[in-house]
Amino acid sequence: MTSWRRRLTFTAVSVLAVLGAAAGQAVAEPPAANDVQPQVIGGTPAAQGEFPWIVRLSMGCGGSMITEQIVLTAAHCVPATGPNTGITATLGVVDLQDPNRVVVNSDYVIRAPGAGGPPGDDWALIRLARPVDVPTVPIATTPEFDTGTFTVAGWGAATEGGPQQRFLLKAQVPFIDDEQCMSAGSSYLNLVPAEEICAGNWDSGGVDTCQGDSGGPLLNRDANGEFVLIGTTSWGIGCARPQNPGVYMQASHFSDAILAAAASLGPRCTPAANTTGLAIPDLGEVTSQVTVACDGNASGQTKVEVNINHPYRGDLVVDLIAPDGTSYRLKTAKGDDGADNVNELYTVNAANKAASGTWTLRIRDVFSGDTGTLKNWKLTV
Ligand code: ARG
């Protein structure tokens, strides 16, 4: 226990303290372990669960889950848009060696269309091969949170030029306005004010993101104290140098494009439909199958579209049965007596079921008097 605490404390120090001491220098000596005063420096280890949606990516960047299957990161962290199974995301932990970590591969990348031009469009989406069971973080869609004191977090270097970190670190960085940021000269003259946001301690430096933090979150708090993602780590000259702030993609400017790109990633597996009509006998039972071939698990938002002609839908009980035999009740016989037909889109949480295999729709008529027809149904796992 003791050594564990020491390790954490030292990590915290080396993180941001070193940078503080480094004012104007490329690299500074780490302070002695007993000099550590993390609260003064501004950086500390993140607690387990504090940033439950943060992701470490295998190319050495950070990211944030914005849906259960999509990571927001930086464009400069990923190759071109297209199918991509070569990226691994590690999440659910602050310690990258934690045996409870969740590890999932990518299956598709969207790189911001403007990436590679002026530096502002530094965002990308990575779709994971399956949904993951962690919370997501909302993206700012208005500039209202683009000022104040922000939170950053990542497993990137704790000193300029230093090694990547095993434990997640966080820090607070004050907003720096565009004009002041550009007054740093050099690359900062190319800042795209509407598309980038600067943060750091202007006079003293000392707190910043650094190499390996790219793509990770720049956060503010909403009126309820909840995190809102207002940017992703992009670039800076050195790290934590005075008058050389960190520069971040400004989410409020790109939110429409980011959310549209996320929607375009659509369902991961090709929807499967069965359009063979089936008579539903009075007091009878019918089943209809579709086959899915798709790696990984089904979605927490598996969609089942059902179209049935029936003069009295209150007679019908409808279930979806997963390939392993688990059944999900889509419709009971109660509550909708009197109405006719079933033309519904049901949502089922099947995130713990393999997507592949034969899925069954089962319809039972449990009251006498009427017959009907299953016209068709469609499953999007
Ligand atoms: N481009 C870096 C990366 O790929 C991020 C650098 C951030 N630098 C800074 N001084 N804030 O990880």
Contact 299, 365 (CB under 8 A): no
Is 214 annotated in the active site?
yes
On the question of pLDDT at 208 being above 50, the answer is yes
- pLDDT tens for 304-342 read 999 999 999 999 999 999 999 999 999 999 877 678 999
* Residues 205-223, mean pLDDT to the nearest whole number: 95
Q: Is the CB of 156 under 6 A from ligand 1?
A: yes
How far is 164 from 118, CA to CA, in rounded Å? 28
Residue 321, CB half-sphere, CA atoms under 13 Å: how many?
A: 13
Domain-wise residue ranges, the chain: 2-265, 272-380
Q: Which of 106, 214, 234, 299 is catalytic?
A: 214
From the CB of 44, is ligand 1 less than 6 Å away? Answer: no
Closest CA to ligand 1's atom 1: 235
> Given a cut of 70, is residue 196 above it in pLDDT?
yes
Q: Which atom of ligand 1 is nearest to the CA of 213?
A: 12
Assess whether 58 carries a catalytic annotation. no
User: For residue 251, what pLDDT is reported?
Assistant: 97
User: Of these residues, 107, 121, 122, 365, which one is catalytic?
Assistant: 122
The hierarchical CATH code for the domain 272-380 is 2.60.120.260
* 256 burial via Cβ count (<10 Å: 0-12, 13-18, 19+): exposed
- 0.75 exceeded by the pTM? no
Vertex 26, ends 25 and 32: CA angle to 5°?
75
CATH 3.40.50.970 fits 2-265, yes or no: no
Band of pLDDT at residue 60, cut at 50, 70 and 90: very high
Q: Which of 150, 207, 210 most suits a substitution to test ligand 1, by most atoms within 8 Å of the C-beta?
A: 210
Atom of ligand 1 nearest to the CA of 60: 12
The CA 37 to ligand 1 mean position distance, Å, reads 24
- In this structure, what token pair is assigned to residue 323? 């390939």
Q: Which atom of ligand 1 is nearest to the CA of 61?
A: 12
**Phi/psi of residue 301, each to 5°?**
-120, 50
With a cut of 50, say whether residue 13 has pLDDT above it.
no
pLDDT above 90 coverage of the chain, percent: 73
Cα-to-centroid distance, 171 and ligand 1 (Å): 14
Interval 71-98: pLDDT, tens: 999 999 999 999 999 999 999 999 999 9
What pLDDT is recorded for position 131?
86
Structure confidence at residue 22 as a pLDDT band (50, 70, 90): very low
Given the CA of residue 200, which atom of ligand 1 is nearest to it? 11
Q: Is 299 a catalytic residue?
A: no
Is residue 167 in contact with ligand 1, taking CB distance under 6 Å?
A: no
